[in-house]
Amino acid sequence: MGLRERTRQAVKVDIAATAMRLFLEQGFDATTMEQIAAEAEVSRRSLFRYFESKEDIALGDIAERGVRVQEVLAGRPDSEGPWEALRAALDVLATEMEFTPEWAARITAMFHETPSLRARQVEKQLRWTGQLVPEVERRLGVPPGSAGDPRAAAIVTSALACLNAAVDAWTTGGGKRSVFELYDEAVAAIRA
């Protein structure tokens, strides 16, 4: 990555951190793009070159995290079944995210209290399905490009629904239990 791209990434990270601080202090809906630009010391126009909307700032790199989960899933041993490989791949979310539990709880609560954020989060997570299904199909022995076999899509969408249910339970439970412990319980309920 060249100097220009590193500088662009650093500015983007700074803007996102500033915005998250404002969202948590004032509330998501009460924070304006103008306030974010002023606090981050960039013009409104520059802000929109980095982010299309407040939702995009708050959701950060959800799409990129999906790509990372896909990479880890593809690298899992072929001996693992789809559920086991997905579980191991989703672990990357916990190990590579740099949040304190308290901060993560506050952000997750903000997402749950803001309908526009939840809707945008679901939209971005839907992309994950398209990214993960081909690897699960491969693990199931489904020939590439075959139509009419719903198993891989059912497994991926169920796994992501379990992840969302675990995050919901984690948030309402005050973050007392591990998200992945709750995820494992959700998966066990589905697979029972």
What structural domains does the chain harbor? 3-52 (1.10.10.60), 61-191 (1.10.357.10)
Q: Are 124 and 116 in contact (CB under 8 A)?
A: no
pLDDT of 59: 80
Question: 95 or 70, which is more confident?
Answer: 70
- What is the distance between the alpha carbons of residues 34 and 163, in angstroms, rounded to a whole number? 34
- Which uninterrupted H or E stretch holds 141? none
pLDDT of 98: 54
Which residues contact residue 14 at a Cβ distance below 8 angstroms, ignoring those fewer than 6 apart? Answer: 40
pLDDT of 43: 93
Average pLDDT over residues 48-52: 90
Confidence tier at 101 by pLDDT (50, 70, 90): low
Which has the minimum average pLDDT: 43-47, 86-90, 106-110? Answer: 106-110
Q: Which two tokens stand for residue 150?
A: 């719903």
For the segment 120-174, what is each residue's pLDDT rounded down to a tens digit?
878 878 888 989 999 999 999 998 777 788 999 999 999 999 998 998 888 888 7
pLDDT of 132: 94
State the average pLDDT for the chain: 87
Average pLDDT over residues 44-65: 85
Confidence tier at 72 by pLDDT (50, 70, 90): very high
pLDDT of 97: 57
